[in-house]
């Protein structure tokens, strides 16, 4: 349903309606024109919401997956643990197939799965109660994690600084504060007077549709720029730091984030602008040695050729390559900000310590 207009920050990105046994999210594909709240209860609805980016951003995907799996678990009609777990595992694996790059998806689903396996001698109603609590805890932890990232990030900048961000690692990508925007929100609350540049972030325009929208709604001084303008504002001295989120951190510090992030980081390196990746420790994947081993999602051609246009903007039959993410080499990253502190080179050591 379409809601009355109020600040986008007043809505919950992801929430659980336990009375109706439904996952409730903002349909982010309709922003900024319409704030539409949708309610999901079938496996197909939840899978499609994740795949079609109705809910997106690594932390928010994790929370939605956990809550969605609880909703699906509640639909399983059996008193047998064996039969319950068989169907539960089927739902878990299905949801996990929606997005391959963001590690928070599999992390949250695995956390729910471990809980169920630990309760094999319990009654199904007790398992469901525990699953609901775990899903709500994942959401609460996300809010606390984002605030902690914000505090650490804020320590790296000063009042009046210019900050550039790419894609949307804001409140719409989490449950509150965001990751890359958390220092911006906390600084705004404390009168830091940041001047923020938001890359439009082609082809899905998360920077234009989401980051610019939510920062403007918060009363933050934000300027939207095309992706290929980042070098210009850096050369002009308007950017003092780059804050970006990420969907997976490899053990060596390589990070996968929305396509174009590696370009921003490369340009920033040239202009001596520090680049900080804001990542919950749940996003750190020590089992992935480096960026070469990160599975990069390739999305439909239509996102480039026609999705956001009234008329098709590319010739029929043109070959299209549409990777959703790129890998930023660890050598381009000044620091990786987590809720447990800031990791610096050598990342193979510092990330492992913060992950513990």
Positions annotated as catalytic residues are 247
Contact 309/203 with Cβ under 8 angstroms? no
Q: How far is CA 25 from the centre of its chain?
A: 14
Q: How far is CA 6 from the centre of its chain?
A: 23
Q: How far apart are CA 228 and CA 344, in angstroms?
A: 28
Q: How far apart are CA 62 and CA 26, in angstroms?
A: 15
DSSP string spanning 299-345?
--THHHHTTTSSS--S-TT-----BSEEEE-GGG-SEEEETTEEE-S
Q: Compute CA distances 19 → 4, 37, 103, whole Å.
A: 23, 17, 30
Angle 81-96/43-51 helices, nearest 10 degrees?
A: 20
- 169 phi, psi to nearest 5 deg: -115, 45
> Going by DSSP bridges, is the β-strand pair 275-278/241-244 parallel, antiparallel, or unpaired?
parallel
Contact 180/211 with Cβ under 8 angstroms? no
Q: How far apart are CA 242 and CA 260, in angstroms?
A: 13
Q: How far apart are CA 232 and CA 153, in angstroms?
A: 24
Contact 41/22 with Cβ under 8 angstroms? yes
Q: How far apart are CA 166 and CA 262, in angstroms?
A: 10
């Amino acid at each position: 349903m379409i809601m009355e207009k109020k600040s986008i920050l007043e809505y919950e990105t992801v929430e659980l309606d336990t009375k109706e046994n439904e996952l409730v999210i903002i349909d982010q594909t309709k922003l900024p024109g319409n704030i539409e709240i949708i309610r999901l209860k079938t496996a197909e609805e939840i899978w499609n919401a994740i795949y079609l980016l109705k809910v997106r951003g690594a932390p928010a995907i994790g929370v939605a997956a956990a809550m969605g799996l609880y909703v699906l678990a509640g639909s399983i009609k059996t008193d047998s643990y064996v039969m319950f777990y068989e169907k539960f595992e089927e739902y878990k694996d299905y949801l996990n197939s929606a997005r391959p790059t963001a590690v928070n998806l599999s992390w949250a689903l695995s956390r729910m799965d471990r809980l169920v396996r630990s309760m094999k001698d319990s009654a199904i109603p007790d398992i469901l109660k525990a699953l609901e609590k775990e899903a709500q805890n994942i959401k609460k932890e996300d809010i606390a994690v984002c605030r902690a990232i914000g505090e650490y990030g804020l320590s790296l900048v000063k009042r009046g600084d210019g900050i550039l961000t790419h894609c949307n690692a804001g409140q719409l990508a989490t449950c509150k504060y965001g990751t890359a925007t958390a220092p911006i929100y906390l600084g705004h609350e404390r009168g830091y007077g940041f001047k923020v540049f938001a890359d439009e972030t082609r082809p899905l325009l998360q920077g234009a549709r989401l980051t610019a929208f939510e920062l403007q709604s918060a009363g933050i001084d934000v300027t939207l720029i095309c992706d290929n303008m980042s070098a210009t504002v850096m050369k002009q001295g308007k950017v003092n730091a780059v804050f970006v989120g990420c969907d997976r951190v490899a053990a060596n510090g390589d990070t996968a984030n929305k396509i174009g992030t590696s370009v921003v980081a490369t340009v920033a390196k040239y202009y001596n602008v520090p680049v900080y990746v804001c990542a919950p420790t749940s996003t750190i994947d020590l089992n992935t040695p480096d960026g070469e081993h990160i599975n990069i999602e390739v999305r439909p051609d239509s996102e480039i050729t026609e999705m956001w246009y009234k008329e098709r903007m590319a010739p029929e039959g043109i070959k299209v390559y549409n990777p959703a993410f790129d890998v930023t080499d660890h050598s381009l990253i000044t620091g990786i900000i987590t809720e447990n502190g800031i990791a610096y080179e050598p990342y193979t050591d510092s990330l492992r310590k913060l992950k513990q």
